[in-house]
């Protein structure tokens, strides 16, 4: 058998062995995509399995993450630290071969994929980061491509259109999408639900669009070479393939997510000219096909260029990205001054951008309102060098997923912004950032019904609860300007997960003692002392609670006010600190302009939760505060009644 056939057949055999042994998985896609994946990995992909984090490697993303067995076979055969024993343990507890590829869990996996379309958008972010770094440091240090395998499902998901439009607009010429065009989804042939002209759509986005036989080695290589040659546009190559190729279920949705029987696997192996009874095996020739010297040699040459480069230390510092909270001339605010936290956030972000060139991002067409219009150029197809603002447009989901890809690439630290209520549009990408532990910073403004006249469609009464329900997402709702600056400091210092900054539209009074805000790092702290009741508040409600405290004092009640900008950080503190802030035996009241659900943990079953368990309305903020009981008088009255006073 000729080399390509041996290599591709081995990929197919290993993928089938994994799925059949686990009796779980998706065999159809690996059988169909094995030919074009093998051509890429044996002939064109620039990588070094002995140095999987080499900065100038090509990125490979399997957006169609259900085909994970394909990727694991490729990684094993190429020499990554993924031994055959791990392939045998596919989808089992503790294995390095989970059901869908997981970043940080399996060597060589560039991003966690599975939710269709997310990996495609991540790849756009990787290509964006590559171009920004390449224009800053030159192709001597940064000159690689991003390849992404997408299926019909990925291209049906709206996030792929959002991200594809961004990529075409910016001319990301080193992005190449390999479209596994097999015309099959779980429910049947794609014509049941998907009859648009996909290639015309991507042409309209500004992509180079190619089409070829996804099982012909020479045509595949020629198409990828043509894509590589066009550096002004991203490329989509429609690889016409047969799902379940070689099986009796070719062209059938039945092989999408159902394992083949052991006997069926033997038949397929025989058709490929392989030993039917051999499982989890590969010949020396198969290994040799995947383990050429080109990648390690390219890595060695790059290392020599890096060592001789005059900006080596600057480049490595950007890749490390661990000094972002340092060297910033943080803004200061006078005690008692009135400023919206979105505005104090803007001042902090401008200071960060001045100090750290690798911080870049953008807003979903709301930069002026979000406080992210930084007075620096937008990235454009004509050039990235010196630009720091990304023109995401009204594409929240794509924006979030592109940011994930940027930080996965390395060398840049992204922030993204929108109105808080539109978190729902980007939630899947936020969830993936939390799952992967990525330090993306989200700027969410207009954080409650107090934004006023825009009405209930824009008033996020339930969104805080929704964000706090995502494991690993740190949600910070600062009370005023000094807390906002500290929130940015904490967000930049964090490396193990994303942070959401939740900011007000309306002005809020700055604390008299600005040093108190440093306690934000502990999630909650005492602003005013008191012994009869504890008022726990976040964001704009901290100043409200302080005003209510003064009215309670007139009734002879001593209220402690606690600012709890980040419940996640407070939960991480030791029990003794939490007891100092929230002393046992003292009644507790939460005050927050959102749903009350979730406050039980901090106020107890006998506590009082003052919130908004309904949608908002269109009216000036002062009118809404009066009607919804968010005035000092109303809060004080409810607290006094709760205490029987």
Active site residues: 396
Q: What Cα–Cα distance (Å) separates residue 437 from each residue in 112, 123, 414?
A: 11, 17, 14
CA angle 399, 401, 403 (to 5 degrees): 70
Residue 510 per-residue DSSP state? P
Encode burial over 207-223: b for 16+ CB neighbours within 10 A, e otherwise. bbbbebebbbbebbbeb
Pairing of strands 184-185, 188-189: antiparallel
User: Which of 404, 394, 351 lies closest to 374 in space, CA to CA?
Assistant: 351
Distance, in Å, from the CA atom of 317 to the CA atom of 178, rounded to the nearest integer, reads: 33
To the nearest 10 degrees (0 to 180), the angle between helices 118-137 and 396-409 is 50
Helix (H) or strand (E) holding 473: none
In this structure, how many other beta carbons lie within 10 angstroms of the beta carbon of residue 361? Answer: 27
Pair of tokens at residue 348: 């902090």
The closest alpha carbon to 295, from 8, 81, 40, belongs to 40
Q: How far is CA 580 from CA 277, 326, 526, 534, 603, in A?
A: 67, 30, 9, 12, 14
Collapse the DSSP code of 600 into the 3-class scheme (helix H, G, I; strand E, B; otherwise coil) and give the result: helix
H/E stretch holding 214: none
**DSSP secondary-structure letter at 378?**
B
User: Contact at 8 Å (CB) between 616 and 609?
Assistant: no
Q: How many CB atoms lie within 10 A of CB 633?
A: 12
User: Mutual orientation of helices 158-170 and 198-205 as an angle, nearest 10°?
Assistant: 40
């Amino acid at each position: 058998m000729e080399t390509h056939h041996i290599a591709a057949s081995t990929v197919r055999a290993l993928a089938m062995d994994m799925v059949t042994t686990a009796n779980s998985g998706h065999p159809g896609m690996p059988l169909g995509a094995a030919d074009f994946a093998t051509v890429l990995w044996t002939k064109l992909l620039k990588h070094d399995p002995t140095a999987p984090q080499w900065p100038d490697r090509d990125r490979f993303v399997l957006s169609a993450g259900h085909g994970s067995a394909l990727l694991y076979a490729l990684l094993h055969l190429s020499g990554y630290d993924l031994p055959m024993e791990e392939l045998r343990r596919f989808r089992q507890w503790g294995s390095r071969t989970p059901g869908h590829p997981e970043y940080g869990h399996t060597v060589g996996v560039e991003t966690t994929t599975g939710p269709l379309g997310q990996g495609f958008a991540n790849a756009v972010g990787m290509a964006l980061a590559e171009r920004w770094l390449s224009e800053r440091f030159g192709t001597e240090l940064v000159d690689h491509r991003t390849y992404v395998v997408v299926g019909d499902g990925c291209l049906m998901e709206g996030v792929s259109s959002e991200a594809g439009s961004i990529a075409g607009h910016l001319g990301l010429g080193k992005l190449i999408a390999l479209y596994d065009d097999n015309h099959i989804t779980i429910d049947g042939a794609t014509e049941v639900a998907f009859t648009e002209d996909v290639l015309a759509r991507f042409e309209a986005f500004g992509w180079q669009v190619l089409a070829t036989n996804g099982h012909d080695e020479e045509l595949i290589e020629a198409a990828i070479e043509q894509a590589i040659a066009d550096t002004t546009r991203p490329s989509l190559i429609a690889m016409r393939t047969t799902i379940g190729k070689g099986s009796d279920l070719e062209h059938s949705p039945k092989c999408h997510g159902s394992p083949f029987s052991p006997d069926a696997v033997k038949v397929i192996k025989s058709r490929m000219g392989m030993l039917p009874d051999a499982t989890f095996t590969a010949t020396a020739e198969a290994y040799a096909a995947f383990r050429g010297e080109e990648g390690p040699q390219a890595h060695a040459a790059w290392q020599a260029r890096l060592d001789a480069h005059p900006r080596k230390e600057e480049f490595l510092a950007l890749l490390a990205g661990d000094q972002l909270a340092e060297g910033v001339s943080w803004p200061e605010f006078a005690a008692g001054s009135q400023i919206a936290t979105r505005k104090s956030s803007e001042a902090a972000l401008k200071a960060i951008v001045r100090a750290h060139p690798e911080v870049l991002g953008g807003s979903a067409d709301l930069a002026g309102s979000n406080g992210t219009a930084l007075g620096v150029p937008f990235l454009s197809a004509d050039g990235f060098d010196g630009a720091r603002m990304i023109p995401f447009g009204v594409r929240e989901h794509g924006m979030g997923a592109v940011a994930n890809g940027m930080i996965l690439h390395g060398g840049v630290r992204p922030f993204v912004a929108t109105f808080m209520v539109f978190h729902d549009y980007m939630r899947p990408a936020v969830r993936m950032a939390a799952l992967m532990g990525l330090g993306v910073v989200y700027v969410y403004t207009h954080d409650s019904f107090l934004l006023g006249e825009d009405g209930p469609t824009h008033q996020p009464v339930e969104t805080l609860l929704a964000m706090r329900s995502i494991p690993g997402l740190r949600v910070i709702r600062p009370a005023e300007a000094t807390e906002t600056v500290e929130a940015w400091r904490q967000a930049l210092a964090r490396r193990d997960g994303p942070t959401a900054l939740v900011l007000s539209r309306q002005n809020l009074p700055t604390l008299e003692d600005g040093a108190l805000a440093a306690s934000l790092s502990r999630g909650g702290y005492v602003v005013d002392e008191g012994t009869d009741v504890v008022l726990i508040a976040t964001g704009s409600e901290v100043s409200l609670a302080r005003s209510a405290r003064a009215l309670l004092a007139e009734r002879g009640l001593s209220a402690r006010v606690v600012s709890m900008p980040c419940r996640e950080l407070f939960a991480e503190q030791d029990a003794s600190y939490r007891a100092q802030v929230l002393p046992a035996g003292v009644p507790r009241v939460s005050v927050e302009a959102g749903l009350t659900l979730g406050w039980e943990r901090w106020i107890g079953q006998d506590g009082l939760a003052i919130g908004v368990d309904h949608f908002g309305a269109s009216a000036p903020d002062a009118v809404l505060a009066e009607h919804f009981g968010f005035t000092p008088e109303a809060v004080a009255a409810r607290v006094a009644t709760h205490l029987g006073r």
